[in-house]
Amino acid sequence: MQYCIQAAEGDGPVTPLFTVPEFRQRLLRFGESSEERRDDERDEVLYVLEGSATAIVGGETEALEPGTGMFVARGTPWRVESAEGLRLLSVLVEEPLPATASHAVIDGGERGAATAGREFTLLSHPENGCESVTQFVGYIPVGRAPDHYHRYDEVVYVLGGHGAFHTDGESETLRPGSCVHLPARLIHCLENVGPGEMRVLGVFRPAGSPAEAYYPDDSPAVVAAG
């Protein structure tokens, strides 16, 4: 299926995942330290999948631990020091809007409510300087959501749990490491087959709320009261 792939991890420092007009989604690995990195054309949002490190971002020292999100605006140099088995999910943002901060390192906050009993925590987003995209962790309970679409373009990475991705009469198995590209207005749904909660990392543009969704008849999906 063109919208779903499984990360084929190797030993190299970079594993390309989805490359689409809006994003370049990749896995990055660091054994110890790295040379300075800088992209003068693209913003970058990152998420620590495993391992730990100290990062120097825009001249400031930042601690990276599993579950940490990081935003790096275009033109901002960064490098990794004293890494221990560090593995990052990186999304490069093409043609970004002007950022209001050079960088941000974010731990997930309180969970917000989305549709079909789903929840999310925000990482990189406009309130911490990342104007172009929203990065979030989504928490999906067991079950299948109604078919719906979003008005934003999104790339998703499955952090934990098992399920299926459904669109246009086709289905694809989801497991940790599965990647999904959701073009704007693609009618789809994610199903969690259990037994526990599924966790996904999403990055979408334009920035907004992960709770925003629409049913195939164009009516807004309703967020249930907590």
- The CATH number of residue 82's host domain is 2.60.120.10
Tell me phi and psi for residue 116, to 5 degrees. 55, 35
How is 23-39 classified by DSSP, letter by letter? Answer: EEEEEEEESS----B--
Q: Under a CB-based contact definition with an 8 Å cutoff, are residues 89 and 49 in contact?
A: yes
Q: Which helix (H) or strand (E) holds 80?
A: strand 78-93
Q: How many C-beta atoms lie closer than 10 Å to residue 107's C-beta?
A: 10
The reported pTM is 0.94
Are 185 and 97 members of one domain?
A: no
Q: Under a CB-based contact definition with an 8 Å cutoff, are residues 27 and 7 in contact?
A: yes
Are 118 and 154 members of one domain?
A: yes
Task: Decide which of 71, 106, 141 is a domain's last residue.
Answer: 106
Are 120 and 88 members of one domain?
A: no
Q: Give per-residue burial for 150-177: e unless 16+ CB within 10 Å, then b.
A: bebbbbbbbbebbbbbbbeeeebebeeb
Question: What integer pLDDT is reported at residue 224 of this predicted model?
Answer: 54
Q: What's the structural domain count of the chain?
A: 2
- pLDDT confidence of 225, banded at 50, 70, 90? very low
Q: Which domain holds residue 181?
A: 112-205
- pLDDT confidence of 115, banded at 50, 70, 90? confident
Average of per-residue pLDDT across 91-115: 90
Average of per-residue pLDDT across 36-53: 96
Nearest to 208 by CA among 151, 147, 148: 151
Q: How many C-beta atoms lie closer than 10 Å to residue 192's C-beta?
A: 23
Are 87 and 133 members of one domain?
A: no
Instruction: Tell me how far apart the alpha carbons of residues 204 and 181 are, in angstroms, rounded to a whole number.
Output: 10
- Per residue in 145-201, pLDDT tens? 899 999 999 999 999 999 999 999 999 999 999 999 999 999 999 999 999 999 999
